[in-house]
């Protein structure tokens, strides 16, 4: 299985990274997981969430609050971050999925910004814009190489889960709903239930990614919930190609490298984000992954034609 080889290669790569490289790679896995979670909705159901940061931030704050205020050990907070984000997605999804896809996009953005505003203003609980800092995970969890493996392991688990999901009856039912909703409902598929569950899964995985990111940065701020954070997973997905399974993860890597380069030179990173998104949407809607697949298939066809011609 090719995915397992990929994970193995990434695991072997670990010791060769510098400290900075380990951090960047860990962040790439985290953003990759976050974007793959976003794409579960976008690719399989056509639902475009502009509020994915709500769950990323919920997961991060759950972890941070439990560690800083509750004194929990970091690893024990991860299942809870997963769960709380899932509950948040259940609530927001219940209100947002009932109408059209456009409503869904509008409402996810609105609810995420509401959470941002709450985190920003509720000083007593979240620390407001001072955030929650000093989240150094204890012992070996705080070491970059070990953390790299933790993140890689959870990333691999998430990707394998999404991979299985795509092939399961549930995944096919989502595709059926996307292809032709009326037809799908007429064969007994419960549209609302399926879309809601997909949204909850997507939210839970985003929350896991948020918790991992918070521990990597050792701090959580309200900007974990901010709308530009939602833009990150969208851009990674569009960059890598939403139609390719690993596209969002590839996009996440390219995205982070770009950010390192751009942010070293200018503070106007969102402008680049926007301009890049604009270009991708207008000219390369299939993303880098889609482009690569297209070139590969063209070459394949060319070879075949060449073979039959000779």
Partner 1 sequence: MALLEAKDIYRSFQGFLALAGVSLSVAEGSFHALVGPNGAGKTTLFNVITGRLRPDRGRITYEGREITGWPTFRIARMGLAISFQRAQPFLSMTVLEAVAVACLGYQGRTFALLKPLRDFKEGLAQAEEALQKVGLEKQSSRRVSELPLGDLKRLDVAIALAGRPKLLLLDEPLAGLSRAERREMVAFIRELLRKEGVTLLFTEHDTEAVLHLADRITVLHQGRVLAEGSPEEIRQNAEVRAAFLGGGA
Partner 2 sequence: MDLGFYALQLLTGLAYASTLFLLSVGLSLIFGAMGIVNFAHGSFYMLGAYFLYAFTRGQADGFWGGLLLVLATGFVIGAFVERIFIRRVYARPEEYQILLTYALLLIIEDLVRFFFGTGYRAFPMPQAFAGPLFLLGTPFPSYYLFLIGLAAVSALLLGIFLYRTRLGAWIRAATQDREMLEALGVNVPLLYTVVFGVGIALAALGGAALLPMQAATPGMAVDAVINAFIVVVIGGLASVWGALLGAVLIGLVQALGVLFLPEWAMVFPFALMALTLLLRPWGLLGRPPAVRT
Residues that bind partner 1 (CB under 8 A): 161, 164-165, 167-173, 175-176, 178-180, 182-191, 193-194, 197
Taking contact as CB under 8 A, which single stretch among the options 40-48, 73-81, 128-136, 291-299 is the one that binds partner 2?
40-48
Note whether 59 and 211 are within 8 A (CB).
yes
Task: Measure CA 35 to chain center.
Answer: 3
Does 193 help bind partner 2 (rule: CB under 8 A)? no
Note whether 56 and 210 are within 8 A (CB).
yes
Does 157 help bind partner 2 (rule: CB under 8 A)? no
User: 63 contacts which partner out of partner 1, partner 2, none, CB within 5 to 8 A by kind?
Assistant: none
Which of these, 11, 51, 17, lies nearest to 34 by C-alpha position?
A: 51
Burial class (CB in 10 A: 0-12, 13-18, 19+), 34: buried
Q: Identify which of residues 179 and 303 has a Cβ nearer to partner 1 in the complex.
A: 179
- Name 64's Cβ contacts closer than 8 Å, sequence gap at least 6: 132, 135, 214, 219, 220
Does 123 help bind partner 2 (rule: CB under 8 A)? no
CA atoms of 227 and 223, how far apart (whole Å):
8
Map residues 52-91 to x or -, x wherever contact with partner 2 holds by CB under 8 A. Answer: ----------------------------------------
Does 286 help bind partner 2 (rule: CB under 8 A)? no
Nearest approach in angstroms of CB 89 to partner 1 is: 16
Note whether 61 and 126 are within 8 A (CB).
yes
Nearest approach in angstroms of CB 106 to partner 2 is: 5
Nearest approach in angstroms of CB 192 to partner 2 is: 10
CA atoms of 220 and 65, how far apart (whole Å):
9
User: 292 contacts which partner out of partner 2, partner 1, none, CB within 5 to 8 A by kind?
Assistant: none
User: 194 contacts which partner out of partner 1, partner 2, none, CB within 5 to 8 A by kind?
Assistant: partner 1
Nearest approach in angstroms of CB 73 to partner 1 is: 29
Q: Which residues of 245-256 are buried (b: 16+ CB within 10 A; e: fewer)?
A: bbbbbbbbbbbb
User: 101 contacts which partner out of partner 2, partner 1, none, CB within 5 to 8 A by kind?
Assistant: partner 2
């Amino acid at each position: 299985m090719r995915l397992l080889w990929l994970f193995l290669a990434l695991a072997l790569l670990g010791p060769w990274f510098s400290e900075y490289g380990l951090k960047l790679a860990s962040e790439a896995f985290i953003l990759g997981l976050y974007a793959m979670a976003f794409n579960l909705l976008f690719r399989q159901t056509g639902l475009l969430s502009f509020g994915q940061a709500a769950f990323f931030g919920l997961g991060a704050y759950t972890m941070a609050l439990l560690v800083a205020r509750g004194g929990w050990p970091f690893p024990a907070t991860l299942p809870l971050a997963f769960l709380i984000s899932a509950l948040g997605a259940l609530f927001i999804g219940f209100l947002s999925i009932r109408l059209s896809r456009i409503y869904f996009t509008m409402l996810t953005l609105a609810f995420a910004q509401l959470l941002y505003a709450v985190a920003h203003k509720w000083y007593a609980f979240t620390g407001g814009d001072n955030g929650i800092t000093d989240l150094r995970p204890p012992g070996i969890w705080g070491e970059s190489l070990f953390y790299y493996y933790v993140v890689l392991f959870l990333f691999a688990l998430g990707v394998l889960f999404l991979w299985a999901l795509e092939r399961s009856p549930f995944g096919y039912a989502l595709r059926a709903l996307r292809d032709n909703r009326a037809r799908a409902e007429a064969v007994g598929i419960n549209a609302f239930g399926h879309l809601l569950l997909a949204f909850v899964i997507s939210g839970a995985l985003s929350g896991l990614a948020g918790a991992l990111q918070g521990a990597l940065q050792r701090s959580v701020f309200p900007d974990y919930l901010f709308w530009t954070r939602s833009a990150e997973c969208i851009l990674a997905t569009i960059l890598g190609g939403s139609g390719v399974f690993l596209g969002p993860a590839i996009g996440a890597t390219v995205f982070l490298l770009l950010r390192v380069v751009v942010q070293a030179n200018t503070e106007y990173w969102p402008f680049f984000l926007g301009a890049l998104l604009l270009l991708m949407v207008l000219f390369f809607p299939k993303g880098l992954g889609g482009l690569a697949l297209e070139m590969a298939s063209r070459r394949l066809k060319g070879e075949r034609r060449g073979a039959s011609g000779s």
